[in-house]
Amino acid sequence: EAEVAQSPRYKITEKSQAVAFWCDPISGHATLYWYRQILGQGPELLVQFQDESVVDDSQLPKDRFSAERLKGVDSTLKIQPAELGDSAMYLCASSLAPGTPNSPLHFGNGTRLTVT
Amino acid sequence: QKEVEQDPGPLSVPEGAIVSLNCTYSNSAFQYFMWYRQYSRKGPELLMYTYSSGNKEDGRFTAQVDKSSKYISLFIRDSQPSDSATYLCAMIEYGNKLVFGAGTILRVKS
């Protein structure tokens, strides 16, 4: 079964440094999502792409976070500078289309970020 | 008040028990209701989804929705140690973003 690929699996960085996460969605999935999951909480949407366009980044801290999906396929999420409160699991998900469970989200295994 | 409330547990049961996991929500516009299972160090995987009030069964799993009470449940029959995971409820308005509960940690003891 096709999977969403994410790298790296784990990242430890010092505060004020820059970090980047990469995601390769399932082939053919036009919608791509980045979620942040703090330990003990459910995932929260950071940004949603439809092809190469951002359709929802209302919860993305834009002073330090950026996301791109230049060719409408893979995507990169960047944090600069990292803060202690950014320690979390960063999950990427993809779906054929947004907004319905007939097109469910498929999640990758995430990147566990620790900021020291 | 959060849009979706879910007891974080942990819930510990013996193997073979019937498990009941629940969520309440406040947004009456939610139309689709889903349950995801998340094993440790893994991403969530979709277990079941339902649209209308009532029950939906899939093997040992039954999803129940009561829109009038804004309450959803997931029942697991004959629970197995392999069911030990975090169970996340999630809800969506058509065309809008998915909203997750905090997740309930389930431990099934052999």
* pLDDT tens, residue by residue, A42-77: 999 999 999 999 999 999 999 999 999 988 899 999
Which residue of chain B has the CA closest to A47? B97
Give residue A99's pLDDT. Answer: 66
Interface of A with B in 83-112 (CB under 8 A): 91, 93, 98-101, 104-110, 112
> Contact A101/B103, CB-based, under 8 Å?
no
| pLDDT under 50: residue ranges of chain B | none
Give the residue from B97, B100, B104 with the most A CB atoms within 10 Å of its CB, the best one to mutate: B97
d(CA B54, CA B68): 11
Closest Cα to residue A85, out of A22, A41, A33, A34? Answer: A41
A28 close to B (CB below 8 A): no
Chain B CB contacts of A109 below 8 Å: 41-43
Give residue B2's pLDDT. Answer: 82
Give residue B93's pLDDT. Answer: 81
d(CA A58, CA A49): 12
Q: What is the dihedral of CA A105, A107, A112, B2, to 10 degrees?
A: 30
**pLDDT at residue A30 is higher than 70:** yes
d(CA A25, CA B93): 23
Q: How far is CA B61 from CA B53, B79, B102, in A?
A: 16, 10, 20
Amino acid at B10: P
pLDDT digits (tens, 9 = 90+) for A74-102: 999 999 999 999 999 999 999 988 766 67
Give residue A21's pLDDT. Answer: 98
